[in-house]
Structures are given as C-alpha cells and as structure tokens.
Structure 1
Amino acid sequence: MATGQRSKLFFAVEVKSIFPGEFICVCGSIPELGEWIPSKAFKLSQCENVENRWVGTLEVGMEPIQFRYFIGYYLESSKASSPKELVISKWETFLHPRLVLPAVETIFGSCRGNVVDTFGYNAGKELVSDGWLTGENQTEILLRIHGSPLSFYKERHQKRSYSIKVSPFDLRQREAGGADDDDPDDSQDAFMQSALPSYSSTYLAVLSNDDDPYYHEQLSYGKKFNTETDYFVFRTRSVAVEFLGFCLEVYVASDDKEGIPERFATAYALPASLPKSFGECSIPLLSRTNRPVGQLSVDYLVVRPLRKPHPKQTMSVSYARHWKKRKTLEVGHRGLGNSYTKMAADRENTIHSLNAAAEKGADFVEFDVQLTKDKIPVIFHDFYVLISVARRSTTNLDAISKDGGNDFHELAVKELNLKQLQLLRLDYFKANSEFAKRGFLKVTDDFEDVAERSPFPTLIDALRQVDQSVGFNVEVKYPMMQKNGLHECENYFDHNEYLDIILSDVLTYAGDRRIVFSSFDPDICILLAAKQNKYPVLFLCVGVTTRYEPFVDMRASTSNSAVNLAASIGILGVNFHSEDLLRDPSPLHRSNNFGLVSFVWGDDLDNRAHQEYFKKVLLVDGVIYDRTQVVPPLDMSASPSSSRTVSLEETNSLSEGSASSSSNISPAHSPNIRSSPSHVARRKTFYGI
C-alpha cells in the first residue's frame, strides 16, 4: 500500500451491564488511543439502535494496533484547581491485548466495519479486572459491618432482624431528600454544585455468602444482616474524601409480610469518624424522631493511590489475573529454608540463600518484607529481634554471669534503623537455652559475614542481586490481632504509607522479574490490588489450625473465608496452609470453581510424600517449602516454632539462657548477579511468555 495511506477504523463492543454514568473507552498502542494511558483513551458513544452497544470511529494509519476496552466514569471534586477525574471501573486484562492489522483488514478504506466485540471476551477467553486507583485524588473507602454490630438501649429492639443500607453523600450538598436541611445560607457557600458527583455509588459484598461473595448494587431497603454470621463490605470511591459522608440506614421488616420494610434508625459516618487509613468506630443510631436508640459498630479502610515515585502505570500489560496452567511451581521458602528453627545450612532470607535456591532449581523464592525505623524495606521474617546489651562492670566477680555480662532485650524491627540492624548484636527473638546449645544459626554471628550472607538485605538489593531468572513471592508483613488478645506488633506504620514504600521499590527495580505478592493481612491484599495493576496478589491463609494462634479477623479465620475474600476483591488466588488442606481439601475445590490460583505453604511440606500429594493429587499451582532436601541441613531433629505467633510464656522466657551473638556487618553491596542461561527457560514458564 502507498505510504501515508489511512483507514477508517470502526469500534463496536457490547457489554452485559453498565451502570448509569458509566461509558466504554478504548485504550491502545497508538496516540489516537492514548498510547496505553487511560486518561487519554478514546471514548465510545452509546449506540442508538442497539442496547448495551458502544461504537466509535477513528482514522488511523496502517501500522498494527493493539487495544483494550475499559468501563469508566467521571468524578469531580468541584474544586477550581481540580479537573474531573476518570475512574476505571472494569478493564480487560488479557495478557495479549486485542490486535487489528489495518494493512491487512482494510477493505475499501474501512477496517472492522462488521466486527462487534464482547467486553471481557477475546480469543475464547474471559478476563476482566477491577480498575486500580489512577488519579491523584482518587480514594476507595470500605465500610465493614460484621460480628454483633448493632446494640440497642431497649432489649426488645435487640431481638429483631434488621437490614442495612449505606449511601454516600457530599457534605457540601444537601443530602438526597434532605427536607430537614435548616441552613438557609447554602446558596452563599463558595462550593458550586457540579453536574458530576464527587463519589461513586456504594456497592455491597457479602463475604459470608459462599455462593456469591462479589460486589453488587444495593437493594432499596438494604440487605438483611445475620448477627455473628455475616460480613458486609460497602465500597465507594471518591475524589473529595474530606467532604464524604455516609448515611447508614437500618430497616426492620414490616409487620405485614407483603409490606415495605420500615426505616427504623439512621447513623451518620462523617470524615472525622474515619481519621486514619484503618480503624473502628461506634456511631449513634437515631430514630425517625432523632432520638438515640443504639449504636452501630463499623470498621473501615481508606485506600489511597500510590504516592511514592514509581514508573507510570499503563494498560499495556497486566499479570494481575493471568495464569497459565502448568506443572506445580517450586517455591523456596525464605530461600533455602528456615535457618533459625530448622537448621537450614544457610541463613534464611539472605541474598546468598535466595540465589542458592535459584541455583538448586526453584522457580520462585519466597521472602518476607517489612520496614525499618528509617522506612527502608528489608527482608526479615519476624517482627522482633533480641538485642544483646552489655551490663555495667562490677567489682563482685562472683556476680558476673556465664554469658559474659550480657542481657537480651526484645525490640521490634520497626524500632531500629537499617544501620543499627546491620551493626548490632542480634539474636532470633524466640531463642532460648536449648536453641543456643544446639547451635542454631543466629541473626548475626560472632564474625563478620560477607554482604550476601548478611541478614537484613534491602528489598532493592534482592531485586538487583538475585538471579533474574527466579521469580519473587514477596510476602508483605503486617501485624494482626490474635484471638489470645495479643497483637503481633502494636503501633505499626500507616497501611498506605507502608505499602507505598514497598511498591515503589518493586515497581522501580523489578524489571522483567516475575513477581507475586502475598500477605496474611486481608487489608494489605486489598491495598496491593487497588494501588497497582501489574503484579498478582495471593491471600495467605492459616485456616483452621492447632499450630498457630488464630487471628481475630473473620476473613482470615478459615480457608473458605479466604476463598471468598480473594474472589470478592478479584485477586489471583489463595495461598493455603497445608495443615488445613490435609484435613479437608474442599476449600481448594471451591477456589478452583471460582477460577482462583492456589498455592500451599506449611511445615507439612517438609515431607516429600505431602509434596507429591499436593502436586499430583490436589494439583495445586505452587508449593512453598524449605528446600533443605536439595541442600543437606545441619540438623532437622528440632521441632519448628510458630512462624506467625508467640505466646506470653515464650515472650517472658526469651531473655533466660539465650546465647549471646555478635556481628559487625558491613553494609557493602556485592556485585550484581546475572541470569544464567540454564535458568532462562524457567522464566518463560510463568506469565505465559
């Protein structure tokens, strides 16, 4: 064809359902389609003749064009300095975008004139994901109601069944139906009401519904809440969260079975009620005559966009929901394995251990990431360490203890900056005299380690220095409340800031490395999915267990609850606990029915027979275990201690009989390690590329 020839490119797509105010856009590889930037995408128009069909036409050149459809809507904060923001509701996340070849498909100057696409379907596959937070002011607010949230002052009210509905409103506007508004000077306010809202509709997910835990529109008179059983999540997005309020309505069934439910009470959650990223609040319930009748307990999560420096996120590629079925992936737990309680030959969670696991054939290596006091992401499993502190000298020689005059004090990793962690004399925080006698590897040794064998490598060091052919399963640590009343680590970092720092490092330095995020904290999984669109997320689950102290959070209480959460928030899948699945594999089957990916972790996987059972019978997608079977351990006879919890008895005995350890570790970096040719093939087996 002649140089400079143009073609009239037609787009037509049908969508099953679309909410009022939403529209369809096309985002693609050419400037006319935004070059994968959603805010510059081509907006389609609703077809006048066919319901739920959206159409558009562009004049394009003859080069190949890749594109995706997405559903979006506009929100506006109504501030003079803030233009309207495009919010992505749903988008197509096939690994390979749609492709059109104008040079081949153009007939009489037109291309795709008779083609009608179906949103979310392409080449026999269906794959749609929720949109991530793309705008600077976009915020997602989750209100959660569970347990026994309703308490009333009169006992007769406590015995009734209620339905709950949540409606957002802008405090600068009159509430819908607000005939009680007594401010005659509203017209004098500087706020000018926009044609666009500052918030989205509020959708409800019932996580306790095993058949349908997804988000849906709310019913006019709310959803019936079953005390101690249900877990309601109400989700809203806003670009003016400082002015966002919620009206929570409580309905009671009419005495007439055919009658309309009656609004019994109302509660209001205002910005002052939700001051942090995460919290709980108790809101007064007011009757229709504005008399207090009780309290409604709500917990909340405020999800903000990624605000730390990072490469621009586009629609060019996403692995968040992509998974190509293959043989079970082998994942090295903390590299070559747990060294502080299982005597792996190499210290866990070090650059050397991660590289050694890759050399021994691991497809992925799993490690734990948390922040230091100076907010640097480091790789370390436990929230606490023991620090060796020398006592003051004494003239009474008989009073000098056998440990050389050292005491051990428990400190949270978050209380020490990176330099302190690398230089201080530290011990494993569950160390005791028996561990010391048996010679278990300490956090720091009595000699200076080379850099790659040193504890507390930074996340950036791992991304730069570990063999590029091995994937990373990055477990994002975040402390949780346990049912025994103990919190894993109180007064921790803000959820949003904490995760922004970790994500910034991964998105900036990961390159082509395969990454899978995971976390035991359900809220961390929610934030991971909402802040970035590239990497998949797995919800780590303890499930029903006799080994570890269970968590208070209902979403983490059982493997079935974990499946419901993963399906509801649209993440890749669940990382199950082997103990629970060996007892009852049915949650794995439910996970498969929801189209989720399933990994498994746990001490049971130290047994080769259990590994084979999960790989060849249950057909899980990945197994995470201590790879001490390919590298002989120093000693395997000791029972491992809990990896997630510590009892009061253990905590109180930590300083008794602990062996001292010392190290003066240099912060020097080892040179970058290149990918070896023998590992390149492994890289291609993940993400389907």
Structure 2
Amino acid sequence: MALKALHVSDVPVTEPGGISYNTDSTVTLINQLLDGPGKQIDGSVWKPSSEFVVVGHRGSGMNKVLSSDKRMQAIMENTITSFNEAARNGVRFVEFDVQVTRDDRAVIFHDDLIVTKENEIIVEKHINELTLEEFLSYGLQTNGHTAEKPLLRKTPDGRFLEWKVLVDDSLCTLKEAFDKVDRSLGFNIELKFNDEIDYSEDQLRHDLEVIIEDVRENARGRQVFFSSFHPDAALLTRKMQNMYPVLFLTDGGVETYKDFRRNSLEAAVQVCILGGLQGIVSEVKAVLQNPGAVSKIKESNLCLLTYGQLNNVEETVYLEHLIGIDGVIVDFVPEIVQSVADFTGGSSDLNGPADLQDDGPQITSTDSLRPPSYSPPKFSAHELSFILKLIPQLIRN
C-alpha cells in the first residue's frame, strides 16, 4: 500500500511532555494516509505496477569501471544477459537506453560516445555516426570471440580504461531485446539524446519514429513505457503514439541545465500536465530534498519513480515506499527486490519466471556478491516525522 505524501510540516511531531507514540501507532498513522496513486491514460489509470515496483537499472545494474564494489562490474549492462538475470531476480521492469544508428536501427547503449582503441589511439564516436554493423563490432562478439574493437570507458577524471566485467555479453538491438528477453519482463525504454546537441523537431521525430515502430512491431503484449530527459522528445513521443505511457526524466534541480524545464520537480510537473505525460522519474536526491513535492505530484495524478545511487540503500527505498513513491530504479537488484518483499509482505522469487529463456551466458558466479536478506526498520510516528525533517538537510550537505 502507498502512503499519501506529506509536507514535512504536516507530519506530527511529539514535543517533550506531549503525546508519546509507540511502534503500534505507526499503523494508525499509515491507515490515515492511504492513497491510490495513478494517472488517467486514454480512460484508464496507469502506473507501472499495482505494487511498489523495482526496476533494474540497465538490466541488472549499471557498470562502473573504477568502482570498488564488484557488483558494479558483475554483468555487462544493457545486454540480453543482464536483462534476463534481472528477470531471474524478480524485477517487474528493466530500464535501458535506446539510440538510433546512422542506418536507422534502434540499438541499446547508454553513453553518448562509444570508445575503443585502434592502433593505440583512442577513438570516440557517436552512435548516430555508426551503421548497425559497425556498432555491433564493438565488444564481445555473438560467436564469443574477442572483439577487434575492445570497449573502453572514460572515467570522471578523464582517463580511458578497459571496460571489464565478470560476465560479458555482446551489444544488442532493441528488436533482439524483445525477441530474447523473458516476455513477463516489462521494458522502461529511455529515449537517449545527447545533452550537448540542440536537436530540431525533425531530428527528434526521425529517431523517435524508428524506435516507436520497433516497439509497435515487436512488443507483442509486453508492458512498455517510455522515458526521456529531453523534454521535447518526451512530449513528441506522447503526440506520436498513445499506446504506451511516457514519463519525464529529471534531475529535479540536483544539477542545473540550460533548459529550465529540467531544473525542478515543479517544472517537471508542468511539463507532464501540459503535455499529457503519465509521470515523472526523478533523481531520488531531489525528492528527499523536497519531500513535500511528492504530494503535489500525486495531486496532479502523476506516477512517480526515482533513480540514483541512494536507491541502492535499502533503508532509503523503505522510506520512499512509506511516503508514497510508486517505485525505484536500482543497481543492486537481488538485494532491493528481497528487501521490498520483506517490508511489503510480498514474496521474492529469486529464480525468476519459469518460462525464462536462457539466451546468453549463464550466471552462476555472482551469488557470492549478494549480502544477507534485509530486515526493514520499525519506525514510530515520532521517528518517521523526525526522519522526514532531517533527510532534506542531510542530502543538501
């Protein structure tokens, strides 16, 4: 069950000598705040799941070449293997990034630039500079052979390092994902555009037509929703089709962009209302800095998901569930799926659906990376109010 979001000032606080709360009173508080979030789309209420939903980030989690946490180097992100492993671990959806090649093929890749080394020289190219054949020539090949063009990744400090993972897989197209990933797994398709490029409407429309057509031809009943950081791409996607929900991705002010629509949750709400979008996917820090915005989003009948590093912390996810957020995009899939099952009273099937296809390498060597099952904390009403007041200050510092 979801909680109606509260402004911090609305949460009851017990002063010294005032009413004392025990743990049982939390149940009373929760029962008073029950709410049914959803958004009208073509006459029906939409949200990604009737329950608090866990979405696998780029499949089973993003990669970081410099991370000391081996889970960030376990499985190659945005691949068939990563998507199917996420399904085995019980997520409802996976999020992944789609771009369009020079010859109009929708492919799955996150970064703005794909990087390799040729004759000891670093070579960077945009996806739209490559044909499909060229794109697929990077990284591990489908025949299992080592690539002639090894994948590299640029680190925040400007170095280029080899993109190494424990379980590798080849790059793939959007169509391959529809064909080879378990059919019970929903897709959150992020429409990826470069922040450094000013796109014309014709350019946006061209790429969106390629992606939307791929979805229409291959979805075959699979649950799909779109999202994009590019406001015009999100709005145009909504105009071009009405079969699949469209959510606006935003940093919510955590970072600043020249397009003001990207710089606050309030602006994101206006984008959604004016454009008929179904919801918002926000950086979790923006929500925790301004928990009162959750109520405004829900009053506007918008779905609210979050993403960000803090979503890999089980206690953060539990708090998001309490304040009425609809779901989280996470990297540590098994741990968060299990913890959500613990605090919602649901079940976690870490073996995934029975009809899961076994395309790609089998995952047997990452089990040792998983920590023990999580037990959610117990909050009294007083403790909950204190946490909601304290968190915005902690996040800002």
TM-score category by the smaller chain? 0.5 to 0.7
1:474 is matched with 189
1:334 is matched with 58
Give the 3 Å change call, closer, same or farther, for CA 600–351 of structure 1 in structure 2. same
Aligned counterparts, 1:471-620, within 5 A: 471-480=186-195, 487=196, 494-545=203-254, 548=255, 550-615=256-321, 617-620=322-325
1:356 is matched with 85
Specify the SS of the correspondent of 1:494: helix
Contact 1:319/1:534 (CA < 8 Å) preserved in 2? no
Give the 3 Å change call, closer, same or farther, for CA 128–409 of structure 1 in structure 2. closer
1:422 and 2:128 matched: no
Runs (4 or more) in structure 1 with deviation over 6 Å come to: 432-437, 489-493
- CA–CA distance in structure 2, aligned partners of residues 508 and 527 of structure 1: 20
- CA–CA distance in structure 1, aligned partners of residues 286 and 73 of structure 2: 25
Aligned counterparts, 1:34-45, within 5 A: none
Deviation at 1:428, TM superposition (A): 3.6
Deviation at 1:128, TM superposition (A): 6.4
1:543 maps to amino acid: G
Cα shift readout 1:304-362 (whole Å, capped 9, x = no counterpart): xxxxxxxxxxxxxx588533873210100000111134533100000000010011011
- CA–CA distance in structure 2, aligned partners of residues 409 and 492 of structure 1: 29
1:330 maps to amino acid: V
Give me the CA root mean square deviation.
Answer: 3.1
1:49 is matched with none
Specify the SS of the correspondent of 2:216: helix
- Pick one of 71, 74, 99 that aligns with 1:345: 74
1:454 and 2:159 matched: no
Aligned counterparts, 1:3-82, within 5 A: none
1:676 is matched with 354
Say which one has the larger Rg. Answer: 1
- CA–CA distance in structure 2, aligned partners of residues 534 and 505 of structure 1: 13
| Matched positions, count | 290
Unpaired runs of at least 5, structure 2: 1-37, 139-148, 337-351, 358-397
- CA–CA distance in structure 1, aligned partners of residues 135 and 201 of structure 2: 18
Contact 1:473/1:517 (CA < 8 Å) preserved in 2? yes
Percent of aligned positions that are identical: 30
Specify the SS of the correspondent of 2:61: coil
Instruction: Name the one with the larger strand percent.
Output: 1
Aligned counterparts, 1:179-328, within 5 A: 322-323=46-47, 326-328=50-52
1:502 maps to amino acid: I
2:264 maps to amino acid: T
Give the 3 Å change call, closer, same or farther, for CA 594–434 of structure 1 in structure 2. closer
Contact 1:383/1:489 (CA < 8 Å) preserved in 2? no
Deviation at 1:429, TM superposition (A): 3.9
Cα shift readout 1:130-152 (whole Å, capped 9, x = no counterpart): xxxxxxxxxxxxxxxxxxxxxxx
Give the 3 Å change call, closer, same or farther, for CA 432–407 of structure 1 in structure 2. farther
Deviation at 1:676, TM superposition (A): 2.7
Deviation at 1:628, TM superposition (A): 5.2
Contact 2:262/2:268 (CA < 8 Å) preserved in 1? yes
Contact 2:253/2:262 (CA < 8 Å) preserved in 1? no
- CA–CA distance in structure 2, aligned partners of residues 408 and 492 of structure 1: 33
Instruction: Name the one with the larger helix percent.
Output: 2
- CA–CA distance in structure 1, aligned partners of residues 39 and 63 of structure 2: 41
Cα shift readout 1:105-134 (whole Å, capped 9, x = no counterpart): xxxxxxxxxxxxxxxxxxxxx9866xxxxx
Contact 2:86/2:333 (CA < 8 Å) preserved in 1? no
- CA–CA distance in structure 2, aligned partners of residues 360 and 477 of structure 1: 26
Cα shift readout 1:589-623 (whole Å, capped 9, x = no counterpart): 111011111111111111111111112x2221110
Give the 3 Å change call, closer, same or farther, for CA 493–348 of structure 1 in structure 2. farther
Give the 3 Å change call, closer, same or farther, for CA 323–387 of structure 1 in structure 2. closer
1:627 and 2:332 matched: yes
1:38 is matched with none
Give the 3 Å change call, closer, same or farther, for CA 464–677 of structure 1 in structure 2. closer
2:236 maps to amino acid: L
Give the 3 Å change call, closer, same or farther, for CA 433–578 of structure 1 in structure 2. closer
- CA–CA distance in structure 1, aligned partners of residues 184 and 43 of structure 2: 17
- CA–CA distance in structure 1, aligned partners of residues 163 and 152 of structure 2: 9
- CA–CA distance in structure 2, aligned partners of residues 419 and 490 of structure 1: 25
- CA–CA distance in structure 2, aligned partners of residues 434 and 323 of structure 1: 40
Deviation at 1:581, TM superposition (A): 1.0
Specify the SS of the correspondent of 1:349: coil
Unpaired runs of at least 5, structure 1: 1-125, 130-317, 391-405, 481-486, 632-673, 680-689
Deviation at 1:478, TM superposition (A): 1.5
Contact 1:330/1:624 (CA < 8 Å) preserved in 2? yes
- CA–CA distance in structure 2, aligned partners of residues 515 and 366 of structure 1: 10
1:367 maps to amino acid: F
Contact 1:340/1:441 (CA < 8 Å) preserved in 2? no
1:377 and 2:55 matched: no
Deviation at 1:434, TM superposition (A): 9.5
Contact 2:183/2:222 (CA < 8 Å) preserved in 1? yes
Q: What TM-score does the superposition give when structure 2 sets the normalisation length?
A: 0.66
Contact 1:320/1:536 (CA < 8 Å) preserved in 2? no
Contact 2:89/2:334 (CA < 8 Å) preserved in 1? no
- CA–CA distance in structure 1, aligned partners of residues 332 and 270 of structure 2: 31
- CA–CA distance in structure 2, aligned partners of residues 476 and 330 of structure 1: 20
Give the 3 Å change call, closer, same or farther, for CA 360–611 of structure 1 in structure 2. same
Give the 3 Å change call, closer, same or farther, for CA 324–366 of structure 1 in structure 2. closer
1:359 maps to amino acid: R
1:368 and 2:82 matched: no
Q: What TM-score does the superposition give when structure 1 sets the normalisation length?
A: 0.39
Contact 2:40/2:301 (CA < 8 Å) preserved in 1? no
Specify the SS of the correspondent of 1:338: coil
2:118 maps to amino acid: V
